[in-house]
Chains A and B, each alone.
Chain A
Amino acid sequence: MVNFVWLGMIVFGILVAAVNGNIEVVTKAALDGADHAVKISISLIAIITFWLGIMKLAEEAGLVRALAWIMRPVMNFIFPSVPKDHPAMGAIIMNLSVNILGLGNAATPMGLIAMRELQKLNRGQDTASDAMCTFLALNTSCMTLIPTTIIGIRLFYGSTDPTGIVGPTIMATAFSMTVALVTDRILRLVYSRGGR
């Protein structure tokens, strides 16, 4: 699927550029994209390093395991393939909590820590595990309580009710999180039977 989307964007993009007679934008766009990607990764070094340090402290202090233990009933139901009280569970909970609070800066490093823990459990080195797919389904559809950025933009353009969209946002994300979980369950069964 990702191969299809990737190839599709490139082939379709170049074809449209050729038909429109502005083929020269393609080279520049490609290099700009690469440049942007490297800049994002470089900017991640700081926050990832910082949060990995804090998370290591939380781990050594037993806080990550404690968190995993508190949420055990829910987490075991959602992630049946991850052992009980595994550090991955704690990291997943931290990532989702921070995501819900709309603190994207801290959410990414915690998510990457969760992925690292899940990868330790994953024997097929370059193929996503069931637990990873479930985690990313939750992460990308994650409930949001405060969409900070867009509230700021609404305020900037003179909204009389900048936070009015908070209610619908919470409801829409809660709904899509549920749908994502169900979809993930169904696809997990389909793919394990299909043997892909």
Chain B
Amino acid sequence: MFAIIAELSRWAIPVLLLVVPLIAAIRGVKVYETFVEGAEEGFSTAVKTIPYLVAMLVAISIFRASGAMEVLVVMISPFLNAVGLPAEVLPHAIMRPLSGGAALGIASDVIKTYGPDSFLGRLVSTMQGSCDTTFYVLTLYFGSVGIKKYRYSVITGLVADLTTLTASVFLVSTLF
């Protein structure tokens, strides 16, 4: 099963790159001109995200470098212990929605210290694989179209992250 999925994801993009221009050409689209016309907006779209990403990453960077994260871990660990989340993976749980790179670093560290096939190793692997960098995605996606008011999407994102966290703990302790 896993092999099939792995093959599928290996082939997906090359097949897409073959099929899309071919079908376009068959349907009479001037492929080169159309590609360039579409690609023209690439620069402005990417540059438009700069102010939003700067705002978010500056805040995250200060939060991380100052040691505030460690303080937060101590403050909220009683709550997350109630869900059954071990203290060793708590820094990962807090960093995951904020910074993909930092979370990956913490996950690697846990895997290195406790071993990839230990309970903690498997748990942090599942957490890393199943959560997304919610704040980065929101900032980037909304920023690219100039949305400043996110309404309730931050809450939805955090609820989803908390759900994944709880589900990971439950699944890893049940399955292994």
Q: Interface residues, chain A, CB within 8 Å of chain B?
A: 1-2, 5-6, 9-10, 12-17, 20, 22, 25-26, 28-30, 32-34, 36-38, 40-42, 44-45, 48-50, 52-63, 98, 101-103, 106, 108, 111-112, 115-116, 118-119, 125-128, 132-133, 136-137, 139-142, 144-151, 153-154, 157-169, 171-173, 175-177, 179-180, 183-184, 187-188, 190-191, 196
A179 to B163, CA, bound (A): 7
Q: Which of A119, A177, A188 contacts B147 (CB 8 A)?
A: A119
Between A and B, how many residue pairs show CB distances below 8 Å? 344
- Chain B residues with CB under 8 Å of A63's CB are 20, 23-24
- Chain B residues with CB under 8 Å of A13's CB are 59, 62-66, 68
Q: Is the interface of B mostly helix, strand, loop or mixed?
A: helix
A10 touches B59 (CB 8 A): yes
Interchain nearest-CB distance for A132 vs B (Å): 7
Q: How many residues of B contact A (CB 8 A)?
A: 97
Contact of B17 with A by CB under 8 A: yes
- Chain B residues with CB under 8 Å of A176's CB are 130, 160-161, 163-164, 167
A41 touches B147 (CB 8 A): no
A41 touches B53 (CB 8 A): yes
Q: Which of A14, A140, A154 contacts B134 (CB 8 A)?
A: A140
Contact of B126 with A by CB under 8 A: yes
